[in-house]
Amino acid sequence: MVYLDHAATTPLHPAAREAMLPYLGDRFGNPSGLYAIGREAQAAVDGARQKVAACLGARPSEILFTSGGTESINSALCGIAYAMRRAGAGAHVITTAIEHHAGIHTAQHLEELGFEVTYLGCDPHGRVSVEEFAAALRPDTVLASVMLANNEVGTIQPIAEIAHAVRDYARERSHRVLLHTDAVQAPGWLDLDMAALGVDALSLSSHKFGGPKGSGILYLRRATPFRPLLAGGGQEMQKRAGTENVAGIVATGVALEIASTGVAARAARVRALRERLREGILAAVPDASPNGCQENCLPNNLNVSFGGLESETLVAALDRRGIATSSGSACSNSTWEPSHVLMAMGVPIRRAVASVRFSLGDSTTDADIQAVLDVLPAEVAAIRA
């Protein structure tokens, strides 16, 4: 199989798998236990927390472990918004129309609970305007959430500039606004330094960077107002109840450490493969056009619309040839639902439902790219015919 869907999930890194195995066997203790195997489990969680903090340039006390990116995003948005409203700071939230559904649906949930949410648009390349963001800030704004890199088209957002706009607004009006970013697609491709990004909260998902499914990370800057989403015991410094997934947490720490090493070299190699794939497609397939920014983007993400077909058909055809990609649209009850990201970018609906995402990984080779270029033109032509 030629696997080009790393934005959906990545293979479990062998080192991460080896790190988690003992905690699926003899080291099965509950970290809350006061006996030896409980203390051993707690030490393993603490060690992973220190690894993650080092990778992010954060304090260990600012790192929470969750069940994945979705929980981290939900917890950040709801936890901060609830805490700020409870403190009387306001009930206005800013986000964008191109967030992952975990962010958009959480924002809609906040609206049902009485919050007012502003959804910012983007330009045709999928980039959010810093000026429009700054103009959306209000005296009752308590939280903003803008993703670092888009999962569908790979466009990187100006998070550091947005953070600067938030700080300027807060300083001028003595009104605090918290900033969260969904950075799920970033590890391995972008340097993640909390001081440089300037965010108050950041969400990650382990299986996007070589870790196991069912484990995630939420960074919460020290002194960030937060009301826990899950009630129960006092785990994760009273911020996330529930017995810790020790094996997943240990593997997550190892996987992020690996993903955070050699980022520039990895990104350069994979970007060259992405460019070869893009140029090969555009040269061999008529009426094909890339979506999203082609410069300021994740080095592993290529989203292409193919005129005259529907993406699900092409994805299925490539799958039969041993090539795994993903569709930019979802089919439900025989009705096409185009990508909300592409629609927000102004992509015509006929091209939005004809988009395919190729997302490369550290294991992608020249032979993989050639395999796609060898079969893609004929498959597109056959579907169009």
Q: Where in the chain do CATH 3.90.1150.10 domains reside?
A: 262-384
Percentage of the chain exceeding pLDDT 70: 98
Q: Which two tokens stand for residue 226?
A: 């937060």
State pLDDT tens for residues 214-260.
999 999 999 999 999 999 999 999 999 999 999 999 999 999 999 99
Positions marked active-site = 331
Rounded to whole angstroms, the Cα distance separating 170 from 25 reads: 50
Percentage of the chain exceeding pLDDT 90: 97
pLDDT value of residue 309: 96
Write down the residue that tokens 């472990």 correspond to. Answer: 65
pTM of the predicted structure, to 2 decimals = 0.96
Q: Can you count the helices (H) and strands (E) in the chain? A: 14, 15
- Please state which CATH number belongs to domain 262-384: 3.90.1150.10
State pLDDT tens for residues 86-107.
999 999 999 999 999 999 999 9
Domain 14-259: give its CATH architecture: 3-Layer(aba) Sandwich (3.40)
CA dihedral over 327, 333, 335, 339, signed as positive or negative: negative
pLDDT value of residue 200: 98
Mean pLDDT estimate for the chain: 96
State pLDDT tens for residues 28-51.
999 999 999 999 999 999 999 999
pLDDT value of residue 337: 78
Residue 58 has pLDDT above 60, yes or no: yes
Rounded to whole angstroms, the Cα distance separating 359 from 9 reads: 10
Q: Where in the chain do CATH 3.40.640.10 domains reside?
A: 14-259
State pLDDT tens for residues 317-373.
999 999 999 996 554 334 567 899 999 999 999 999 999 999 999 999 999 999 999
Rounded to 10 degrees, the C-alpha dihedral 15/20/26/30 comes to 150
